[in-house]
């Protein structure tokens, strides 16, 4: 036998401690991370070349046409889920199909249409759904979207408008055809009543009304403890085999 210690070496113990510290740090990092803040702006920050204006017509429920401004988002869907705006999809089509819309600063974030009006299980009928319209920078007429908000990438200075009602297949006729032009929507003073529609009201950014649970730290911490025990047990086993080999 040699004069070397048969106990697990300092290097092995250090590696076990380092692994434990790393796993603990990973757990705290994941659990402590907050969702990214919504990049929304006051309506006055949206111009012909900056930001993207968003408007949602709650007229069918006796409400206004709410108008807000967002930093240039990646998609029309992202624009409709920032600064206090929220959407709900359908069970059939997923969250990307906008079935309900709400705004945190309007009627306590109530979503429309209501569950009694539309359960949002199957795809809503063409006679009662949220029609999506866009106007690019400098454009004076609306373009009807047949592909939804997820695939639309708004350019700085553009406008997105959501109107509830019905349209034909091409979006050229029906109750969901916009009653206000893109230019009028850009320039209308807050409180201006649309012809045959609700008044235009600015919707400033509001914080999210629904908190996101970070979950419990215990599952991750327990996994870290188990990993440390396994490493320690492995180190003891290696040291024992070496001792037997040397004897």
Determine, yes or no, domain membership for 244. Answer: no
CA 63 distance to own-chain centroid? 24
- Show the CA angle centred on residue 24, arms to residues 22 and 28, nearest 5°: 115
| Residue 244, pLDDT score | 54
Determine, yes or no, domain membership for 112. Answer: yes
Determine, yes or no, domain membership for 77. Answer: yes
Determine, yes or no, domain membership for 238. Answer: no
For 169, the domain range is 40-202
In the chain, the number of structural domains is: 1
Q: Residue 170 in contact with residue 179, Cβ under 8 Å?
A: no
45-78 pLDDT tens trace:
999 999 999 999 999 999 999 999 998 888 999 9
CA 193 distance to own-chain centroid? 31
| Residue 213, pLDDT score | 27
Q: Between the CA of residue 169 and those of 82, 131, 163, 174, 245, what are the distances in Å? A: 29, 11, 15, 10, 81
193-241 pLDDT tens trace:
988 889 999 999 986 433 322 233 333 333 344 444 444 455 545 455 5
Determine, yes or no, domain membership for 79. Answer: yes
Determine, yes or no, domain membership for 3. Answer: no
Determine, yes or no, domain membership for 158. Answer: yes
Determine, yes or no, domain membership for 153. Answer: yes
């Amino acid at each position: 036998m040699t004069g070397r210690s048969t106990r697990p070496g300092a290097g092995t113990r250090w590696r076990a401690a380092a692994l434990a510290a790393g796993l603990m740090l990973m757990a705290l990092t994941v659990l402590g991370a907050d969702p990214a803040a919504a990049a929304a702006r006051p309506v006055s920050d949206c111009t012909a070349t900056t930001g993207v204006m968003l408007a949602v017509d709650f007229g069918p429920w006796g409400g206004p046409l709410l108008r807000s401004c967002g930093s240039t988002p990646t998609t029309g869907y992202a624009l409709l889920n920032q600064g206090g705006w929220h959407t709900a999809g359908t069970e059939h089509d997923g969250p990307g199909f906008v079935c309900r819309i709400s705004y945190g600063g309007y009627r306590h974030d109530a979503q429309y249409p209501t569950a009694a009006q539309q359960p949002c299980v199957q795809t809503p009928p063409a006679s009662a759904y949220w029609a999506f319209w866009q106007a690019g920078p400098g454009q004076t007429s609306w373009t009807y979207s047949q592909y939804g908000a997820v695939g639309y990438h708004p350019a700085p200075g553009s406008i997105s408008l959501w109107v509830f009602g019905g349209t034909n297949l091409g979006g050229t006729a029906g109750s969901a055809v916009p009653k206000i032009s893109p230019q009028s929507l850009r320039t209308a003073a807050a409180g201006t009543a649309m012809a045959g529609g609700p008044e235009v009201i600015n919707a400033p950014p509001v914080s999210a009304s629904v908190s996101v649970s970070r979950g419990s730290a215990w599952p991750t911490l327990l996994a870290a403890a188990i990993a440390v025990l396994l490493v320690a047990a492995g180190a003891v086993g290696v040291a024992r085999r070496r001792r037997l080999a040397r004897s």
